[in-house]
Amino acid sequence: MATYEESTLREPLGPREANPYATAQEQFDRAAEMLDLEPAMREFLRQPQREVRVMLPVHMDNGSVTVFSGFRVQHSDARGPGKGGIRFHPQETVDTVRALAMWMTWKTAVVDIPLGGSKGGVICNPKAMSQRELESLSRAYIREVARLLGPDQDVPAPDVYTTPQMMAWMMDEYCKLTGRLDFGVITGKPLAVGGSQGRGDATARGAWYTVREAAREWGMDLSSATMAVQGYGNAGSYAALLGQELFGCKTVAVSDTGGGIYCEKGLDPAAVLRHKQETGSVVGFPGAEALTSQEVLELPVDLLWPAALENVITGENAERIQAKIVAEAANGPTSPEADPVLYERGIHVIPDFLCNAGGVTVSYYEMVQNYSRDQWTANEVNRRLDGKMTEAYHAVLDRSRAHDVDMRCAAYLVAVERVATAVRLRGWI
């Protein structure tokens, strides 16, 4: 019987040294100090309400059994049921899951939807697994955490290396366990089993609504703007596609785990995506110059989209960032040390839990549709998303200007204040 070593739990997610949970707590502490939160409230909100670790034996195609480690972390349900994706990643860590659960609490609060924050993860390499093995692992995970889940408790969704198909398997397993057709227990599902129109590009589309508002505030003409995207997965590729479709924005550079590419005249986002799907990477795209992923971050562009993983903009490289607006499509791409450097240099950062909140917002709309047995059109979903993201951006911008702080700190002030208010009103503290 094979097993994933427990030492993996202590390894960082990828090549970065920073601990994302420590980053999340440091960011919270700054807001808590500015809000003058009472000591008990600070202790309560800076760590998860509950978390569980599970062991998942799976029969592999070669006849062996591999035991995978998984987690579900629920940071806060003060404002409503927990909400958060499930990651399948070979270097997943419990601290990463804790950080993402905390960020999800602030994310749902800053866009003012009645949900809390949670997150899940499994340590595995999905790229080395068959569809049958992935289905077995997906169902095993749900069997172990089902007691924590439910439309009124905690609602998962897809995240890194998980898909709508995997959400369908998980939803089906939960329904079998409970004997109820609770399609709303999982979001990000295929349309045929309760998914929502507009969910596929919701993260990038929601981010673009905030970028549009930022461009208006700073007098930027998006039709002549250039952009670079680090991370050409779901959010990153849609960011490039929608930038061209909605605003006429020119993508000059993109990267993925294999490396980066650059073309001063502009790349065709759809052609780059086809190349990645055919070859496994954007690297080698015809007519493009090869760059490192780090070099993509430091190009002189109007818009920079960090859409990969955590801690790619740091105290070490923040002075070399040349973009006018940084749209954080990824979770935690900027370290606490980098924030003041970017702010002092006049770079407008749209923080992650505001910028990429379009995904959870449309997941919430999926829950609403499932509850009411209704189906909205893509236009209706996008109209509602536009309103939510625009309102949230200006609430954060107003707080930033009122307190003369960067946008991340302002977003924390808005979100933490809303969650703390709910905690007090419920009589917990």
CA nearest neighbour of 299 among 324, 322, 316: 322
> What pLDDT does residue 357 have?
97
Which token pair is 294? 């780090």
Among positive and negative, which fits the CA dihedral 328, 330, 331, 335?
negative
State the Cα angle at 323 between 322 and 328, rounded to 5°. 125
CA nearest neighbour of 257 among 220, 293, 303, 286: 293
| Binned average pLDDT, 10 residues per bin, the chain of 429 residues | 32 53 92 97 98 98 98 98 96 94 97 98 97 98 97 94 96 97 95 95 97 97 98 95 98 96 98 97 97 96 92 94 97 91 97 96 97 96 98 98 96 98 98
> What pLDDT does residue 331 have?
85
Active-site entry in 119, 250, 276, 388 = 119
Fold of the CATH domain 52-193: Rossmann fold (3.40.50)
> What pLDDT does residue 311 have?
84
How far is Cα 148 from Cα 144, in angstroms, rounded to an integer?
9
Q: Is 83 a catalytic residue?
A: no
Residues whose CB is less than 8 angstroms from the CB of residue 226 and which lie 6 or more positions away in sequence, other chains included: 249, 250, 251, 252, 266, 301, 302, 303
CA dist 239 to 145, 215, 260, 265, Å?
A: 33, 15, 16, 18
CA nearest neighbour of 242 among 253, 257, 227: 227
On whether the CB atoms of residues 82 and 48 are closer than 8 A, the answer is no
Three-class secondary structure of residue 27 per DSSP? helix
Fold of the CATH domain 196-429: Rossmann fold (3.40.50)
- Where do the CATH 3.40.50.10860 domains begin and end in the chain? 52-193
Give the number of other Cβ atoms within 10 Å of residue 322's Cβ. 15
On whether the CB atoms of residues 283 and 261 are closer than 8 A, the answer is yes
DSSP code, position 245: I
User: 79 — phi, psi (to 5°)?
Assistant: -100, 0
Q: What is the pTM of this model?
A: 0.91
How far is Cα 414 from Cα 407, in angstroms, rounded to an integer?
10
- Where do the CATH 3.40.50.720 domains begin and end in the chain? 196-429
User: 105 — phi, psi (to 5°)?
Assistant: -60, -45
Q: 378-403 and 407-425 are packed helices; what angle lies between their axes, rounded to 10 degrees? A: 100
266-278 exposure pattern, b = at least 16 Cβ within 10 A, e = fewer:
ebbbeebbebbee
Q: In what order do the strands lie in the sheet with 226-230?
A: 289-291, 259-262, 250-256, 226-230, 303-306, 325-327, 348-350
Which token pair is 143? 């069997």
User: 307 — phi, psi (to 5°)?
Assistant: -125, 25
Give the number of other Cβ atoms within 10 Å of residue 300's Cβ. 11
Between β-strands 259-262 and 250-256, what pairing exists: parallel, antiparallel or unpaired?
Answer: antiparallel
- One-letter amino acid identity for 269? P
User: 277 — phi, psi (to 5°)?
Assistant: -65, -30
311 Ramachandran zone, left/alpha/beta (phi>0; psi -120 to 50): left
CA nearest neighbour of 262 among 232, 220, 238: 232
Residues whose CB is less than 8 angstroms from the CB of residue 215 and which lie 6 or more positions away in sequence, other chains included: 221, 222, 225, 325
How far is Cα 79 from Cα 75, in angstroms, rounded to an integer?
11
Among positive and negative, which fits the CA dihedral 361, 366, 371, 377?
positive
